[in-house]
């Protein structure tokens, strides 16, 4: 059901629910108190109300249509607005889910009049039933009016920020430990982005709260707010300021961590490039050495081949004369021997000159 709890309080004590609600506010509880019992307060709690339910409550307490439209649509920024004698507050509670290790945000709307409070929640958190129980346990505080309920709800939501701050602090510390250890795992960068996104959302939820509480304190004297309520509001303001300061520091730390991680990644990439360049230079030097060795080997082969060719020519002529044939006229020629020697030397000299000209020798 959209209506979680309806109650009417007289002098801080609960006297009934919906049956006595209309009688306690039967004329105009927003602007008059003549027909309402002294110290009468109506507190209606709604959870994800449909349009009909919200319109019925709006008509019952003469709520401004713009505020009702914001409450219907939800997804509003944290803010404090005044419509005549009615205050409209939007609060963004936050909590950490252990199963997903993520920070989630809810939305609570408060319509606060002189004799009524209407709370509209768009998420299961926070548990305003627990807030109601604590306030009902202190009738003297509740008897101070609707401002007491407002202070109690603000206190509950701001106190709920503390566990989230603790979880984010642990995660930021873990990221810093990884970075200072020189780890450049790509998963670290992803986690920084995720956590920074959560911190930015948390900052949007918490940053307006101090200004909202200051606004309530500024109007305290004008509207005769009880001193105890003002004391609790100042306590809420103190806690809210501490939370916003921590959140601002988280954002700065994560932005610096992102910069540091980018620097470490760049250094690692540069180091890898240097290693690759050194390896390439070493490989190039090795290739050059192999090429020089191959060149030297080729030169030696050319020399050997050249000398082999030079020696082959005389050997060819000598081989011809070494054949044992009966009919070899040159064997009986008077000038055969000197001619053969000259031919051998001449052919060897010609080959030497040719190879020398080609730089083979």
Q: Quick one: average pLDDT of 241-262?
A: 89
User: Taking each helix axis from N to C terminus, what angle separates 65-73 and 51-61, rounded to the nearest 10 degrees?
Assistant: 150
What pLDDT is stored for residue 199 in this prediction?
93
Residue 38: band (very low, low, confident or very high) from pLDDT cuts 50, 70, 90: low
Looking at residues 325-345, what average pLDDT do you find?
73
| Beta-bridge partners for 6 | 44
Residue at token pair 């606060």: 112
- Residue 17 has what pLDDT? 62
The overall average pLDDT reported for the chain is: 83
pLDDT band at residue 200 under the 50/70/90 scheme: very high
Distances (CA, A) of 11 to 121, 143, 249, 327, 346: 26, 5, 44, 155, 139
Is residue 348 very low, low, confident or very high in pLDDT (cuts 50, 70, 90)?
confident
Q: Could you tell me which residue, 359 or 64, shows the higher pLDDT?
A: 64
Residue 255 scores a pLDDT above 60: yes
Average pLDDT estimate for 49-64: 90
Q: How far apart are the first and last CA of the chain?
A: 107
């Amino acid at each position: 059901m959209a209506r979680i709890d309806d109650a009417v309080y007289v002098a801080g004590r609960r006297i009934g629910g919906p049956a006595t609600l209309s009688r306690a506010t039967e004329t105009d509880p927003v602007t008059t108190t003549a027909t309402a019992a002294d110290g009468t307060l109506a507190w209606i709690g709604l959870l994800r109300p449909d349009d009909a339910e919200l319109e019925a409550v709006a008509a019952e307490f003469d709520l401004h249509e713009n505020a009702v439209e914001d409450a219907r649509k939800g997804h509003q920024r944290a803010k404090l607005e005044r419509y005549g004698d009615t205050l409209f507050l939007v609060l963004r509670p936050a909590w950490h889910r252990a199963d997903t290790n993520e920070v989630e945000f809810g939305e609570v709307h408060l319509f606060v009049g002189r004799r009524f409070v209407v709370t509209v929640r768009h998420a299961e958190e926070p548990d305003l039933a627990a807030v109601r129980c604590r306030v009902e346990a202190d009738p003297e505080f509740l008897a101070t009016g609707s401002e007491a309920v407002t202070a109690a709800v603000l206190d509950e939501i701001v106190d709920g920020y503390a566990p989230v701050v603790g979880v984010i602090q642990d995660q930021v510390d873990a990221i810093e430990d990884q970075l200072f250890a020189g780890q450049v795992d790509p998963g670290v960068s992803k986690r920084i982005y995720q956590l920074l996104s959560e911190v930015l959302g948390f900052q949007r939820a918490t940053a307006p709260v101090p200004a909202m509480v200051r606004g309530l304190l500024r109007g305290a004297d004008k509207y005769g707010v009880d001193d105890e309520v003002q004391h609790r509001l100042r306590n809420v303001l103190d806690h809210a300021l501490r939370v916003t300061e921590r959140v601002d520091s988280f954002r700065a730390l994560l932005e610096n961590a992102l910069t540091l991680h980018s620097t470490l990644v760049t250094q690692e990439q540069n180091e890898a490039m240097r290693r690759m360049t050194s390896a390439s230079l070493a490989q190039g030097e090795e290739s050059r050495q192999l090429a020089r060795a191959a060149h030297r080997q080729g030169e030696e082969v050319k020399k050997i081949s050249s000398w082999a060719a030079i020696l082959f020519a005389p050997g060819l002529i000598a081989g011809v004369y070494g054949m044992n044939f009966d009919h070899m006229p040159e064997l009986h020629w008077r000038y055969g021997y000197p001619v053969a020697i000259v031919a051998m030397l001449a052919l060897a000299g010609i080959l030497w000159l040719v190879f020398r000209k080609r730089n083979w020798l």
